[in-house]
């Protein structure tokens, strides 16, 4: 295959998340194809196709029946990088995507503050013991180390409430990598979190997300929230305002620079980074999403839809530049 036939290959396992990207590629006139790693056979003794590979394997792939898609992706990314292909969100990004423990280590190394977290092997007695020892009298958050979409993230008022949950927890809710995280609950003065979007390791925009209805905060339209867990314990009130709103003022420059430096250092090209400001105004970063989805309604309302300042638009422009670079390297 020659460089003229080079394409953007989108590595994924969930076709439902592709249409916004397909539209942006179409608008930019970029050749692309999907590489669905929910399955696949790879001849590792042959070179991969020409082009640029954009990895958007998701930490939540196991929740769609693709238990080993992330493991298959790790093998494919190793093969691609060994052959010198340009990989956007390469092995280092996948490594962070599937482990919050590794995210937190990388964030702290970059001078960012994360909520106090205790990591425990999935064993009910050990989890309860750690909750009593480190988080008494409560509250405490329980979340899987390999997360996604907020699934399995729960707030408990006390260690005893956590114990009662664990005693009856359905097997399918066990963390897929065998690791639970216990975490300080960060009380925000307003019920919102912020998600800052980065493409090519540079800030694109920040979106504020109303958390009144619960913890399942995937911005993709296809992840419309069902019976999400309500942190308040009562029936979730439906917020009158849109759940996702782009902040016209963005985020403060020192925070933006720190987050961009973190991405540079961690080798992550595309990410949505989530944080909460506590009552004292401190920023606590708790989630790095390398397979970020963008909220179309929020982009529309902010006048960004269809432009290079939208998430998919910025991605298409960035990947188009990478494809040009791949062509020059192959020439
Ligand atoms: N330490 C915390 N304090 C307060 N709220 C939290 C905390 N951790 C998570 N949440 C809430 O739960 C949501 C999902 O948690 P997150 O860590 O982002 O998991 P996931 O990787 O599944 O998205 C967050 O967006 C936030 O609303
Ligand atoms: Mg999250």
Spell out the domain ranges in the chain: 3-92+313-330, 100-113+187-308, 117-183
The predicted model gives 295-305 an average pLDDT of 97
Topology of the domain comprising 117-183: Dna Ligase; domain 1 (3.30.1490)
Residue of the nearest CA to atom 12 in ligand 1?
Answer: 215
Structure tokens at 276: 């909460």
Residue range 3-92+313-330, CATH number: 3.40.50.20
Nearest-CA residue for ligand 1 atom 8 is: 286
Strand blocks (E) in 132-247? 140-144, 154-156, 179-183, 192-199, 202-210, 244-246
Helix segments in 61-123, DSSP class H: 69-82, 91-97, 100-109
Task: Fold for 100-113+187-308, please state it.
Answer: D-amino Acid Aminotransferase; Chain A, domain 1 (3.30.470)
Helix (H) / strand (E) element for 138: namely none
Q: Which residues line ligand 1 (CB under 6 A)?
A: 115, 141, 143, 147-151, 153, 183-186, 193, 211, 215, 217, 274, 276, 286-287
First to last CA, the chain: 12
* pLDDT tens column, 65-92: 999 999 999 999 999 999 999 999 999 9
Residue positions counted in the chain = 331
Mutate to test the pocket of ligand 1, among 59, 276, 290 (most ligand atoms within 8 A of CB): 276
Residue pLDDT, tens place only, 111-136 = 999 999 999 999 999 999 999 999 99
Residues within 5 Å of ion ligand 2, judged at the Cβ atom: 274, 287
Average pLDDT, the chain: 91
DSSP string, 269-313: -EEEEEEEE-TT--EEEEEEESS----HHHHHHTT-TTSTTSHHH
């Amino acid at each position: 295959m020659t460089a003229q036939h080079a394409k953007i290959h989108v590595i994924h396992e969930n076709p439902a998340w592709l249409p916004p990207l397909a539209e942006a590629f179409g608008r930019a006139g970029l050749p692309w194809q999907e590489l669905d790693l929910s399955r696949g056979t790879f001849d590792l003794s042959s070179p991969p196709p020409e082009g640029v590979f954009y990895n958007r394997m998701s930490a939540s792939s196991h929740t769609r029946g693709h238990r080993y898609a992330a493991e298959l992706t790790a093998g494919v990314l190793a093969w691609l990088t060994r052959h010198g292909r340009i990989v956007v969100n390469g092995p280092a990004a996948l490594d962070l995507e599937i482990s919050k423990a590794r995210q937190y280590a990388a964030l702290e190394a970059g001078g960012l503050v994360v909520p106090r977290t205790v990591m425990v092997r999935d064993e009910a007695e050990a989890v309860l013991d750690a909750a009593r020892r480190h988080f008494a009298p409560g509250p405490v958050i329980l979340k899987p180390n390999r997360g996604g979409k907020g699934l399995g993230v729960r707030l408990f008022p006390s260690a005893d409430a956590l114990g009662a949950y664990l005693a009856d927890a359905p097997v399918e809710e066990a963390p897929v990598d065998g690791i639970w995280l216990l975490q300080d609950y960060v009380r925000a003065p307003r019920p919102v979190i912020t998600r800052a979007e980065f493409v090519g390791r540079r800030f694109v925009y920040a979106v504020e997300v109303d958390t009144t209805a619960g913890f399942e905060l995937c911005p993709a339209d296809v992840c419309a929230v069902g019976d999400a867990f309500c942190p308040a314990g009562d029936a979730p009130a439906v917020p009158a305002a849109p759940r996702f709103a782009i902040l016209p003022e963005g985020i403060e420059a020192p925070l933006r620079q720190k987050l961009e430096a973190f991405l540079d250092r961690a080798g992550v090209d595309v990410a949505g980074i989530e944080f909460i400001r506590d009552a004292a105004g401190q920023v606590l970063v708790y989630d790095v999403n390398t397979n970020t989805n963008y909220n179309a309604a929020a982009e529309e309302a902010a006048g960004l839809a269809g432009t290079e300042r939208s998430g998919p638009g910025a991605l298409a422009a960035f990947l188009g530049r990478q494809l040009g670079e791949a062509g020059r390297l192959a020439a």
